[in-house]
Amino acid sequence: MDLNELDKRLQNPPSPLEVIEHEAFANNGLRLFVKRDDLLHPHVSGNKWRKLKHNLLEAKRLGCTKLLTFGGAFSNHITATAAAGHAFGFSTLGVISGEESSAGNPSLDFALECGMKLRFTSRANMRNLSETALAHSLDIDLEKTFLLPQGGANCLAMQGCQEMVMEVEAQLGQPPDFIATACGTGTTLAGIATGLQAESKALGISVLKGSFLENEVKKLLSDCGKATNNGALRSNWTVLDDFHHGGYAKWTPELVQFINDFKQRTGIPLDPIYTGKAFFAAFELAKQGYFPKGASIVLVHTGGLQGITGFNERFGPLIK
Ligand SMILES: Cc1ncc(COP(=O)(O)O)c(C=O)c1O
């Protein structure tokens, strides 16, 4: 596939923007919408599509034939990169943190089915070494290889997230007052913040315990300032650190109940690692009166639904 064809195949029609009728919002005069990025592609869905799009184009432009990336054993980014490589003609190699015995979960099985080769490294190496150093430590040949950082967190990823904002503004006919997303690395939030009109506000709901994400987002905005409309100057975003339900991949019965209720009422599935926590947070904020009367709120469905199978295998069939 040449660059022109890849470019054509990556031109997605806008994902739907669905209106959600729910008393938690309507009672406060709020308008709620869900941006269904989970429907963009069966396996490269949600923010993964947005974050990979310009990376794939750049890889092709540079003449790379292989994608090399990094992640945990349940990483959505790993499965999405594997699926993208399979769909768009790149070979893929994933470096996974942890023991080789952690293979055999649904996410890594899927990556293997897509043709991704897997290598394993210690968590300490993954934390401390640069991507190139990691590749060297595993004797990985980097010829014609495009390196994607863990979580796909780079400036090109932010560009794709900016495009999602433009779609939302066109679909609404005006900028939304708030647009909210789950945050892991903060790249999606940073991309949204740079794409938004000044009067709109971006909310990032951290799925991790701790309060380091704000600095990560600042760093992304500063590093990617030139590529993204001088994002460093933007302050139209906030990270909310209190909705992690115990930490990454941790959960509470309230979260599980919310996800199941939300699906029953709207038909929209949510995953317990990312989107469930973000949407739960938005409902809590609406109840607490966080949003001014009459505000429009867009929740971005960032995908991640493949994580439900692994979650139910680990904890029992909790997510319906
Ligand atoms: C489904 C889903 N939503 C949200 C996120 C968070 O995105 P980011 O890492 O850009 O903050 C991820 C990322 O890793 C994800 O898999």
Read off the pLDDT of residues 56-97 as tens digits, 9 standing for 90 and up. Answer: 999 999 999 999 999 999 999 999 999 999 999 999 999 999
Q: Who wins on pLDDT, 210 or 225?
A: 210
The whole-angstrom separation of Cα 242 and Cα 29 is: 25
Distance from Cα 184 to the centre of ligand 1, integer Å: 5
Residues 143 and 250 in one domain: no
Residues 163 and 201 in one domain: yes
320 located within any domain: no
- pLDDT at residue 100 in the model: 81
Distance from Cα 60 to the centre of ligand 1, integer Å: 24
The whole domain housing 243 covers 3-41+155-315
Residues 78 and 121 in one domain: yes
Pocket test for ligand 1, best of 15, 34, 47, 194 (most atoms within 8 A of CB): 47
Residues 19 and 161 in one domain: yes
- Across the range 116-129, mean pLDDT stands at 95
pLDDT band at 102 (very low <50, low <70, confident <90, very high): low
Kindly state the percentage of the chain with pLDDT values over 70: 97
**Among 152, 177, 204, which residue terminates a domain?**
152
Residues 141 and 265 in one domain: no
| Residue 241 pLDDT exceeds 60 | yes
Residues 96 and 176 in one domain: no
pLDDT band at 173 (very low <50, low <70, confident <90, very high): very high
The whole-angstrom separation of Cα 201 and Cα 198 is: 8
Neighbours of 136 (CB within 10 A): 12
**Among 152, 180, 208, which residue terminates a domain?**
152
| Residue 228 pLDDT exceeds 90 | no
- pLDDT at residue 233 in the model: 60
The residue written with tokens 């600042």 in the block is 218
| Residue 230 pLDDT exceeds 80 | no
Distance from Cα 293 to the centre of ligand 1, integer Å: 29
Q: Which residues line ligand 1 (CB under 6 A)?
A: 46-47, 76-77, 151, 153, 182-188, 274-275, 302-304
Name the residue at shortest CA distance from atom 13 of ligand 1. 184
Distance from Cα 27 to the centre of ligand 1, integer Å: 30
Among 260, 254, 218, 225, smallest CA distance to 239 is for 218
Shortest-distance atom of ligand 1 to CA 304: 1
Domains in the chain, number: 2
Pocket test for ligand 1, best of 302, 305, 319 (most atoms within 8 A of CB): 302
- pLDDT at residue 271 in the model: 97
Name the residue at shortest CA distance from atom 12 of ligand 1. 184
The burial of 255, by beta-carbon neighbours within 10 Å (0-12 exposed, 13-18 middle, 19 or more buried), is given as buried
- pLDDT at residue 104 in the model: 80
Return all residues near 261 (Cβ < 8 A) that are at least 6 apart.
Answer: none
Residues 208 and 304 in one domain: yes
Pocket test for ligand 1, best of 39, 45, 79, 185 (most atoms within 8 A of CB): 185
Distance from Cα 275 to the centre of ligand 1, integer Å: 9
Query: For 3-61, how does the pLDDT look when each residue is reduced to its tens digit (9 = 90+)?
Result: 999 999 999 999 999 999 999 999 889 999 999 999 999 999 999 999 999 999 999 99
CATH code for the domain of 169: 3.40.50.1100
Residues 78 and 193 in one domain: no
**Among 152, 175, 203, which residue terminates a domain?**
152
- pLDDT at residue 62 in the model: 98
- Least confidently predicted of 195-204, 226-235, 287-296, 301-310: 226-235
Residues 91 and 213 in one domain: no
The whole-angstrom separation of Cα 151 and Cα 171 is: 28
Residues 193 and 131 in one domain: no
| Residue 226 pLDDT exceeds 70 | no
Shortest-distance atom of ligand 1 to CA 303: 1
> What does the mean pLDDT of the chain come to?
94
Residues 218 and 135 in one domain: no
Residues 224 and 166 in one domain: yes
Name the residue at shortest CA distance from atom 3 of ligand 1. 302
